[in-house]
A and B are shown apart, each in its own frame.
Chain A
Amino acid sequence: MPKLLNSKIVNDLKKIFSEELQKKVKILLFRVDDESICEYCDLTQNLLKELIDVDERIELEVYDFGKDEEMVQKYDVQRVPALIILDENGKDYGVRFYGIPSGHEFSTLIDDIVTFSKGPVPNLSPETIEQLKKIDHEVRIQVFVTPTCPYCPRAVLMAHHFALVNDNIIGEMIEANEFMELSTKFGVSAVPHIVVNEDYSFVGALPEANYLNEVLKGLKK
């Protein structure tokens, strides 16, 4: 198998990780072996393997979506491939990727790894953090993306950083092409398309305050 990450990217990653990584980061991958069910599971696993080879502070655990029921339940995994990022103590903050983080979303994954290795500390204004802390029931923010969309990483990172603030918040990247049925269900045809609690949608990589407002609107529905 040819490598997914070329030597230039590997070298750039080495540099970023050596300068930025502080603590260990754990990535859980949920997958199935059947390619007819999950076209991108193998590719995603290969990608993550290449990534952990770059820096040993990144750890990978692989689970079978069909067999490892306990883990699937514990992390409330919805579909595969699924990536969940945990801090060095194994704490789950609700940061999820459904589908392969390729294209521009590869940068999002690297960004998350760096963030998690540092704590993780949300990169948000104090006002936003204060508002998010008040949320007292579960919020699922699903950010539909395509790998070629340059606006999408910002919308995903926003959801992920929201999730860091409050355990009630789950922030998910969903690669729209891989989960066409789901995309169709929510009528996604322009990305980033953000769905809050499967009920309220907005489109676009909005600035933080507006993004927060939309998420809060979705909560009230």
Chain B
Amino acid sequence: MVFFDLEAKKTGPEKTEYDVIIIGAGPAGLGAAIYSGRAGLSTLVVEKNIEGGQILLTDVMENYPGYGIINSNELAQKFKEHADLFGTEFDYGEVVKLELDNENSKLVHLDNGRVYKSKVIIIATGASPRKLGVPGEDEFISKGVSYCAVCDGAFFANKNVVVIGGGDSAVDESLYLSRIVSKVTIIHRRDKLRAVKSLQEKAFKNPRIDFIWDTVVKEIKGNDKVEALVLQNVKTGKIEELPVDGVFIFIGLEPNSGIFKDFVETDENGFIITNEDMETSVKGIFAAGDVRVKSVRQVITAVSDGAIAATIAARKYFD
């Protein structure tokens, strides 16, 4: 299906100083932008890709209130337009450095050389797919290894692929892939899925989806491209090889917090630690969404984090 998505980027703003700078235009960042804009604060959102964040990594959303089942691009677009309503400005580029001038002035450096200043920063950089960390994984990226089914599914039309993982994303994206490829094998290290029941039921019913339980991947093998996986059954210890054309990995998330680690406290996995008000260990720096320590990482909770961060920021720093 041909579609046209207009997320056109206007010229970067002329202003360089804002009340609030939000880093990342995923659900958390856009949620924060709506609240920050409505609170009357001058607000800049900096995004390296296009608005929507991880929403855009799946084709539909079924659990965001008010929309029933909605196309993910459309939901992302609605979030963006909602933020536009309240005067949020946007610039595009990757934030590569944060600098603390003093308590009231923080500098945000973009990869294109631009620098912005603000009193409050909201980190809403979300998360990226976690790697398996096995031999062959890095070597075979774009040679059969992928972390994005909507991006790369088409390369595996009529081929056999493996999906690694057992959570919502793994099962959801297996269902998506099953419409393109000939067979999906879900490999999970436990004997049951962690995904929500409704997804599980769909997957069990799908004739193109098979399962290998209690099994981990030890190695990804091939010559020019992926040809096989070395698998180990965690209960019996038995090792075997499975021929495959592609591997999609959905085993969890890695926080996009690298450039902030020198400033704010994180847990051992790099997720940013906040209190209930989304405040980090540094005054005037908030974190919202998947990038922070929390137990439910969804669009609805990310948006909510953003709302809290911006509201508290407005009360505490601009009253």
Contacts and interface: CB of A to CB of B under 8 A. Distances in A.
Contacts of A106: 4-6
A43 B2 CA distance: 9
Contacts of B52: 150
17 contacts: A20-B11, A47-B4, A100-B2, A103-B4, A111-B8, A125-B113, A147-B2, A148-B150, A149-B152, A154-B49, A189-B144, A190-B142, A190-B148, A191-B152, A203-B141, A208-B93, A209-B96
Given A9-B6, A107-B5, A125 B146 contact: no
B142 A151 contact: no
B222 to A, nearest CB: 11
Contacts, number: 131
Given A127-B113, A201-B142, A207-B111, A189 B9 contact: no
Interface string A101-128: 0111011001100100010000111111
B112 A104 contact: no
B152 A190 contact: yes
Contact of B8 (A100, A114, A151): A114
Interface string A145-173: 01111111110000000000000000000
Interface in B1-60: 2-12, 48-50, 52, 56-57, 59
B6 A12 contact: yes
A40 to B, nearest CB: 8
B7 A107 contact: yes
B79 to A, nearest CB: 14
B4 A189 contact: no
B9 A107 contact: yes
Contacts of A151: 49, 148, 151
Interface of A: 4-5, 9, 12-13, 16, 19-20, 43, 47, 100, 102-104, 106-107, 110-111, 114, 118, 123-128, 146-154, 176-177, 183, 187-191, 193, 201, 203, 205, 207-209
Contacts of A148: 59, 150-151
A7 B50 CA distance: 22
B143 interface: yes
Given A151-B151, A201-B142, A207-B96, A4 B2 contact: yes
Mostly, the B contact residues are loop
A149 B52 CA distance: 12
A13 B112 contact: no
Contacts of B3: 102-103, 147
Nearest to A209: B111
B246 interface: yes
B6 A13 contact: yes
